[in-house]
Amino acid sequence: MLTSPPSQKVNLNQLTQRLIQRLQGQQPAVANWQIRLSKRQAALLVLAEHEATEAPGSAAEAAAISGAIETILRSLLDQMAQAGTLETLSADLAAAQIPIRIYLRRLREKQPYQTRSLLWRNPDPLIALLADDAALPDDPAELANMSDSSALVPFQAPFQAPFQAVDWPLAPAADLTPDASTDVGTSNSDEAAAVPRRWKKNLPQVPLWLAGTIAGTVLLLGFGYGVTRPCVLGRCERLATAATLSNAALDSLKIQPAPADVLQAHTQLESAAAILQPVPPWSPHHAAVEAAQKSYAQEAEVLGQVIAAQKNATLAAEKSQNPPHSVVQWQVVENYWRQAILQLEQVPQDNLVYAFAQTKRREYEANLAKTRDRVAAEESAAAALKQAVEAGQLGLHHLETADSLSSWQVAHREWQTAISQLRRIPKGTVAHEEAQDLLTPYRNHLLETRDRSAANSLALRLIAEPPKPPKKPSSLNKKASGRWLYKPGGRL
């Protein structure tokens, strides 16, 4: 049961928050959607907006999301009507029936891609008997004037039938004179404003017997409807059936429940609450029904948080498959793990699934830590690759402009730095594959600059050293000169 202060803004915000909370429990894909409610001409508008990247994958998924919004909103309005707090939203909405329109739209677009119209009827039959038919406009141009994402589209007529002129017969002059008993002070009453006084005597008169018959028929139908509603006469079988479902759901959670047990228990609790939904407020069992519904709703809400956490964990695991991934994708996975952990932290300690939630929370926290390590590794690898590429660009520049030993040495050092950065990039990262592709050309440039540096260094040494004089030949080896030839025992 929703409770809120009498401020329309606050109440609409509370209704919106309840809608968002339940919708995210059923549809985790809308976790980042912007959902707002607005009142227009005694009707409710629901605008759900999102980024283009978060759009449903198909028309069936979009219809499922809008259908979930319809189901949740009907349930919330039924609860408020049974609690008698519907009028706190607005006097215009405290009616027997409320037209509702649901829009799904991408941010920064004017036209919605999904529209759903419905009519909520008050479960109180005494109010429903007095209701006029209401219709929603089907004009596709209804959103033509939507300028930005903050604008909620008003409903166009016809929520109320326009005034239609009637050709009344002219009355004699005597009939146009007010009766002597007419009170001048009440001439501005609602009745006088609704029906001109000069036409009063020309209005058709309904016979008293016909009016009595109509009133009696209405009362009889209302009484017959009232006594035939569930749990109005005798014992309430629906309470027993709902209690059986609830007990079965809670029993399945007492001993080490599995994820499938949590999902089944949530379904059983929702079914138990739905069984009690048709019980009217005038039932003698209404207090017990209301207490049971509140209990089932609270338990189902907690289980919904656990189920939503499991769905986020499943999405995180799916997006983690087949690494390596970019930093952006790992950050998306990290966000899914973080949301799952936050949802599990909302489980109360006295709840039956608290131990299960804590086990899953520790598991998700370990996965979150691994994901953060992945993000850090990808960021470090990307930074090393960037530094390697920058060093390679400098090395290539010096390679093309080198004309001295010092310039060749600078180019050689740049290529050494580039290769050193490439070798720092770990395996299992997106940058590692690109680094391996760069290693071969970078090594070739390193060898080229090394050889050029060595050649220039040798040339400079040769230039710096003076030429050495030739050695004089020995006297014993002047055979070729023809001057001296030593022979034992004689001379030439």
Residue 99 phi/psi, 5° resolution? -70, 140
What distance in Å separates the CA atoms of residue 353 and residue 258, rounded to the nearest whole number? 10
CB under 8 Å to 378, separation ≥6 — which residues? 324, 325, 326, 327, 330, 429, 430, 431
Thinking of the domain 307-377, which architecture would CATH place it in? Up-down Bundle (1.20)
Beta-strand relationship, 114-121 and 43-50: unpaired
What distance in Å separates the CA atoms of residue 249 and residue 304, rounded to the nearest whole number? 13
HEC states along 90-145? CCCCCCCEEEEEEEEEECCCCCCCEEEEEEEECCCHHHHCCCCCCCCCCCHHHHCC
pLDDT in tens, 436-471: 999 999 999 889 889 888 888 887 777 776 666 666
Q: List the end-to-end C-alpha distance of the chain, in Å, as a whole number.
A: 141
Question: 3-state class of 487 per DSSP?
Answer: strand
Query: Pick from 352, 320, 337: which is nearest to 255 by CA?
Result: 352
Q: What is the pLDDT of residue 363?
A: 96
Q: What is the pLDDT of residue 47?
A: 92
The tens place of each residue's pLDDT in the chain, 492 residues long, gives 334 334 333 378 888 888 898 998 888 888 889 998 888 777 889 999 998 888 888 888 888 898 999 999 888 888 887 777 766 666 656 567 888 999 999 998 888 998 998 888 877 655 554 444 444 444 444 444 433 333 343 333 333 333 333 333 333 333 333 343 334 333 344 443 444 444 444 555 667 656 666 666 666 555 444 445 678 767 888 899 999 999 999 999 988 899 999 999 999 999 999 999 888 888 888 899 999 999 999 999 999 999 999 999 999 999 999 999 999 999 999 999 999 999 999 999 999 999 999 999 999 999 999 999 999 999 999 999 999 999 999 988 888 888 888 888 888 899 999 999 999 999 999 999 899 999 999 999 889 889 888 888 887 777 776 666 666 655 555 454 444 444 445 443
Measure Cα distances from 184 to 171, 199, 202 in Å: 22, 17, 21
pLDDT in tens, 255-266: 889 999 999 999
Q: What is the pLDDT of residue 152?
A: 40
Q: What is the pLDDT of residue 95?
A: 63
User: Which helix (H) or strand (E) covers residue 290, if one does?
Assistant: helix 286-319
> What's the pTM?
0.47
User: Which helix (H) or strand (E) covers residue 306, if one does?
Assistant: helix 286-319
Burial of 461 from C-beta contacts in 10 A (0-12 / 13-18 / 19+) = exposed
Q: Other C-beta atoms within 10 Å of 227: how many?
A: 10
Sheet holding 97-106, edge to edge: 34-40, 43-50, 97-106, 114-121
* Helices 286-319 and 8-26, axial angle in degrees (round to 10): 60
Tell me how far the alpha carbon of residue 353 is from its chain's centroid: 25
User: Which helix (H) or strand (E) covers residue 433, if one does?
Assistant: helix 430-464
Q: What is the pLDDT of residue 189?
A: 40
Long-range contacts, stretch 7-15, CB < 8 angstroms, 24+ apart: 8/39, 8/89, 8/90, 11/88, 11/89, 12/37, 12/38, 12/39, 12/89, 15/76, 15/89
Residue with tokens 């109180």: 124
| Residue 368 half-sphere exposure toward CB, CA atoms < 13 A | 17
Measure Cα distances from 411 to 392, 406, 454 in Å: 9, 9, 13
Contact of 378 with 330, CB cutoff 8 Å: yes
Measure Cα distances from 357 to 251, 297, 365 in Å: 17, 19, 12
What distance in Å separates the CA atoms of residue 300 and residue 291, rounded to the nearest whole number? 14
Residue with tokens 């690759």: 385
Sign of the four-CA dihedral 137, 143, 144, 147: positive
Burial of 324 from C-beta contacts in 10 A (0-12 / 13-18 / 19+) = middle
pLDDT in tens, 379-409: 999 999 999 999 999 988 888 888 888 888 8
Query: Pick from 142, 162, 160: which is nearest to 45 by CA?
Result: 142
Q: What is the pLDDT of residue 26?
A: 87
DSSP state for residue 473 in the 8-state scheme:
P
What distance in Å separates the CA atoms of residue 335 and residue 236, rounded to the nearest whole number? 47
Q: 379-464 — its CATH code?
A: 1.20.58
